[in-house]
Amino acid sequence: MAEKETPKNLPFSFEAERAVLAAMLHDSDAMLAGLEVLREVDNLAKRDKADSQSKKRKGFEGTTLFFHTPYQHIFDLIVHLEEQGVKPNFVSLLEAANKRKLLDQIGGSSAIMEVIEAAATGSEVIHFADIVKEKFLLRRLIYSTNTVLDRAFEDSEDATAILEDAESALHEIADSRHRGAFVRIGDMLEPVQQALLEAFERKGVVTGVQTHFTMLDEMTSGLQRTDLIILAARPSMGKTALALNMVENIASKSKQTVGFFSLEMSTTQVIQRLLSSLSQVDLQRLRSGHLSMREKTRVLNALGNMAPLPIFVDDTPGLSISSVRGRALRLKHQQPDLSLLVVDYLQLMEAGASRGQRSRQEEVSAISRGLKAIARELEVPVLALSQLSRGVEGRESGEPRLSDLRESGAIEQDADVVMFIHRKKVAHDEET
């Protein structure tokens, strides 16, 4: 199927684009204010274009922050000069345009002078910048929608993949509309005060989500909302078992919803492990079916107790960070009391569109940053299981360190809490 033509009546404001540039060139404070509004979305537009050129994302070749190409070039020159510590004016812009061979594309020196002489004041820069940003986001929404339609009509991809990409793109656009800014601490005291009052009433140490492991809860005050918690160990040390024990406790004792991304095991295997824990029946015996009458009774009782537990498992292998984010957002929408997200395990996640473009360490670092962002966005603790490198086995004590985190990159920097499983008998047996 031939690709549909891009709509010719795309939203833009020629006047606002010229006015914001003029205002930024007239006043240094306006320059900083305009860049604060526009720089982030400009980076988004440039990333879209780069993704299109590398075939990672179709349909975004013409996406630019400024619809009028000469104005986009002038804005790029302003950003470049500002980063170099050079004040943008007619002379510096003209010189930079010549060096970059952009003067003809801009329309000559007269086009630069036309912008500088345009009627605009620094006090209006935020207003004009918001218009330019809003029009860009509308165009990006149109490009995103057209891309989804093209992929759907081609009928060559799985519908789930298209839906997840569409959902991720829409969330990205929505996030771009809200820029960060300074907040007066006095305006934020009320929620802090409320949290303190609740803690006073509880008269306990746990302010986050209780794992019901007493020593762990005392050390962490519970799993705090917005925290990224890393649980790391070498293979077969019990990472998944411990995580599932936490999941079971939170769902059964606290009656809170838990989401579990199982990238290594199927949902059936996860259920079998939970059932083994709840029934206190050995997992291998449970799988084999060689059970005594007492064990069968315990298993049947455990099945009945498991049914109402608010545990949600997604066993899709190789999920990207955008897919995890989209699915977590949906679960949060369906289950507002979502109290914990578990990822088993971090190194099995895919890097998404950047796969093969960066080193695996850079990819894992991007994944850990993404998980931290999900925790903050959903205000839910994220527990990510992680492998340790073989370096820990060569150490005499066998005690793990932060540097042992496999493909660690920025994992230890992104994490709020890092927990290791260390069993001396397994790590280092002096008798062997």
Report the pLDDT value the prediction gives residue 146, as an integer from 0 to 100: 83
The per-residue pLDDT for range 140-160, each reduced to its tens digit, is: 888 888 888 888 888 777 777
pLDDT digits (tens, 9 = 90+) for 241-283: 899 999 999 998 889 999 999 998 888 888 888 888 888 877 8
Does position 9 have pLDDT exceeding 70, yes or no? yes
Mean pLDDT (whole number) for 304-318: 87
pLDDT band at 420 (very low <50, low <70, confident <90, very high): confident
- Asked if residue 345 has a cis previous peptide bond (ω within 30° of 0), the answer is yes
CB 108 within 8 A of CB 141: no
Q: What is the mean pLDDT of the chain?
A: 80
Q: 54: how many CB neighbours lie within 10 A of its CB?
A: 11
Put simply, whether the predicted model's pTM sits higher than 0.75 gets the answer: no
| Contact between 298 and 270 (Cβ < 8 Å) | no
Residue 394, pLDDT above cutoff 80: no
| pLDDT greater than 70 at residue 127 | yes
What's residue 430's pLDDT?
46
Q: Give the start-to-end residue ranges of the domains of the chain.
A: 14-176, 223-427
DSSP reduced 3-state for 313? strand
**Interval 158-199: pLDDT, tens:** 777 777 777 767 766 766 665 555 667 777 678 777 767 776
Please check the confidence at residue 34 and state whether its pLDDT lies above 50.
yes
Percent of all residues in the chain with a pLDDT value above 70, rounded to a whole number:
81
Q: What is the pLDDT of residue 260?
A: 93
What is the band of 113 on the pLDDT scale with cuts at 50, 70, 90?
A: very high
Q: How far apart (Å, rounded) are the C-alpha atoms in residues 191 and 278?
A: 38
More confident residue, 358 or 122: 122
Query: Would you say 339 and 380 are in contact if contact means Cβ atoms under 8 Å apart?
Result: yes
pLDDT, mean of residues 70-89: 90
The pLDDT score that the predictor gives to residue 52 is 62
Higher pLDDT, 276 or 412: 276
The mean per-residue pLDDT over the stretch 291-311 comes to: 84
If pLDDT is split at 50, 70 and 90, which confidence band does 5 have? very low
36 is catalytic: no
How far is it, in rounded angstroms, from Cα 130 to Cα 26?
18
Give residue 431's pLDDT band: very low, low, confident or very high (50, 70, 90): very low
- For the segment 351-365, the average pLDDT, to the nearest whole number, is 63
What average pLDDT does range 293-301 have in this prediction?
Answer: 84
Categorise residue 255: left if φ over 0, alpha if ψ from -120 to 50, beta otherwise: left
CATH of domain 223-427: 3.40.50.300
Mean pLDDT over residues 103-130, rounded?
88
Give Cβ neighbours of residue 191 (< 8 Å, ≥ 6 apart).
none
- Assign 15 a pLDDT band (cuts: 50, 70, 90): very high
Which among 61, 264, 377, 412 is annotated as catalytic?
Answer: 264
What are the DSSP calls for 219-266, one per residue?
HHSSB-TT-EEEEEE-TTSSHHHHHHHHHHHHHHTS--EEEEEESSS-
- CATH number for the region 14-176 comes to 1.10.860.10
Topology agreement, domain 14-176 and domain 223-427? no
Given this model, what pLDDT does residue 4 score? 44
Confidence tier at 103 by pLDDT (50, 70, 90): very high
pLDDT of residue 338: 93
270 contacts: CB under 8 Å, gap ≥ 6: 244, 260, 262, 313, 315
Q: How confident is the model at residue 354 (pLDDT cuts 50, 70, 90)?
A: very low
Q: What's the rounded mean pLDDT across residues 22-30?
A: 87
DSSP 30-44: HHHHHHHHHHHHHHH
